[in-house]
Amino acid sequence: MKKIVIMVLFLLLVGCVPHGQSAMNQSVSQAIVPLKVGLLVDGKIYDQGWDGQAYRGLKAIERTYQAQVECIQDADQPDVQWREAKRLADSRYDLIFGNGRSFEAVFNKLAVSYPKTRFVFFNGKAQGENVSAINFTPESTGYFSGMIAGTMTKSHKVGLIPAYQSMREVKPFIAAVKEQNPNNEVLVQDVKSWSDGKKAGEIARKMIKEGADVLAPMGDGFNIDVIMEAHHAGQLAVGYISDQYFVSKNTVITSVVQNLSSLYVRIFEQYQSGALKSGDVEVDFADGAQQLGTFSPTVPDEVRRKINKKLEEYEHGAFVLDKQTGQPVSNPEK
């Protein structure tokens, strides 16, 4: 008799479960399935620059949101990029990052066959509803690194060592150096590579011999090589992409930093919430995507104040940088 009563009570309790409770439990369990996020870099994740920042961003996504992540290094050839990105898409990765413009063609083409996967790369042109190209504003990077270099040079010779002469940072850099003092001269020679540290070092030594007392490398794979040449020669340098003050506090007067790690997390959050825009998206100092790094003790207080005041004016739209000349001009919207 007791067994019958217990069974009846059990059935009554089951009947009292709110309608839809099992469906709700199912949706909750589905909601906690981690998103799958892939990253392809064309270099190494320990470069202390662009690819290193990307990897730290990926690991922050994994740590904060328990996402399932995978990183592929040395994806510097189109066939490797295609094979690895396709493998991730076939494995139903939700979000795939390509850490640079070199992934533009492959991602735009591959995305057509994988409409449920979101492809994101940097500094290029996106095609398709499931592709986003995140573009840092290179003109401001060039301008503010040129401003600090042009202010700090005593020999009136600054050495600019970009990966490529065609980079949009180059003209604003030269304009800013000249703006600080018309007698300033900019020595420019490109490396024709993002990562050839040996060649970049040779160029740096040559420029130092020619009288350059401030060097500005613009290539994430060889910045450290150039900074070390300046360090050994007792000259100054401007860091690029990451805050490279740690390399030599008396050499790196400041760095123009692209906050790639935090941007990765922001992009993931936007994707997760459905707010990530398709197409081309531009980011700059005003939205925290770029900033100036740590100032060296060798930089006088009045120089810091001058640079920060100009940056504040730029962030508030007091002026814009002409994309053709690199010169600051009044903001037509103000």
Give per-residue pLDDT as tens, 292-328.
999 999 999 999 999 999 999 999 999 999 988 889 9
Tens of pLDDT, residues 234-285: 999 999 988 999 999 999 999 999 999 999 999 999 999 999 999 999 999 9
Rounded to two decimals, the pTM is 0.80
- Taking the C-alpha atoms of residue 130 and residue 116, their distance in angstroms, rounded to an integer, is 7
Contact between 311 and 292 (Cβ < 8 Å): yes
Give the length of the chain: 334
Tens of pLDDT, residues 166-180: 999 999 999 999 999
The tokens describing 205, both together, are 């030594």
Name the band, by pLDDT with cuts 50, 70 and 90, for residue 334.
low
- Taking the C-alpha atoms of residue 86 and residue 241, their distance in angstroms, rounded to an integer, is 29
Q: Which residues pair with 283 in a beta bridge?
A: 136
Q: Output b/e per residue, 289-313; b: 16+ Cβ within 10 A.
A: bbebbbbbeebeeebbeebeebbee
Return all residues near 71 (Cβ < 8 A) that are at least 6 apart: 38, 39, 40, 41, 45, 55, 58
Contact between 284 and 140 (Cβ < 8 Å): yes
- Taking the C-alpha atoms of residue 44 and residue 51, their distance in angstroms, rounded to an integer, is 6
